A and B are shown apart, each in its own frame.
Chain A
């Protein structure tokens, strides 16, 4: 089972460039999430999607956009990358109910120079 798959694993961008991080899950989960992981800051929620067709802002949404393309896929877009967006990005998915386990992708290490 693939679980949650993120692409790419590594990326270097120049300031001002744009890119899209892709995430797909094959567990028929309703909820999907994008987090960024920074030293000392833990995992901070950028956006989440409770179901196909809905998205909501998390704790740190500025500078990002998301698309829930279908039930399987949830993409994160940086329209104009900034050095402050250098981070490790994680996608996760879960069933939309309480006491449910979230499954994580392997992460994307993004560096903006």
Chain B
């Protein structure tokens, strides 16, 4: 079975502060990990994927297989980062996408 856990339901920071949204996973094989974001009144959309090792909108995430974690980080939060963030895992077969419970990020001015 595959499982994704996001321990924080709400994270509130001030503009310019660092942000870390936690994600832990459980999977017996080699998973693909993603972060999706849902801005107010918009569709859920992909933010970044671990295999691309990319930085999107200043966000990065590193897959730590030893700790089975894929935390999302940004050094300086912006007000426009306020949104719902979901960590997701896709198994080896590439056909079952599982999401965590989500973390609402609020960036205060």
Contact = CB atoms under 8 A, between A and B. Distances in A.
- Residue of B34, B99, B100 with most chain A CB atoms under a 10 A cut-off: B99
B97 A96 contact: no
A96 B99 contact: no
A33 B44 contact: no
A40 B100 CA distance: 10
Nearest to A56: B96
Contacts of A92: 44, 97
Contacts of A59: 98
B56 interface: no
Contacts of B74: none
Contact of A105 (B6, B43, B49, B101): B43
Interface string A85-113: 00000101011111111101111000000
B95 A96 contact: yes
Given A33-B97, A42-B6, A104 B102 contact: no
User: For chain A, which range describes its interface: under 10, 10 to 19, 20 to 34, or 35 or more residues?
Assistant: 20 to 34
A45 interface: yes
A41 interface: yes
B46 interface: yes
Contacts of A97: 94
- Residue of B9, B34, B86, B97 with most chain A CB atoms under a 10 A cut-off: B97
Interface residues of B, number: 26
A23 to B, nearest CB: 13
Interface string B82-109: 0000101010111111111110000000
A109 to B, nearest CB: 13
Interface string B51-92: 110000000000000000000000000000000001010101
Contact of B99 (A42, A56, A98, A106): A42
A48 B91 CA distance: 13
- Residue of A45, A98, A104 with most chain B CB atoms under a 10 A cut-off: A98
Interface of A: 30-31, 33, 35, 40-45, 48, 50, 56, 58-59, 90, 92, 94-102, 104-107
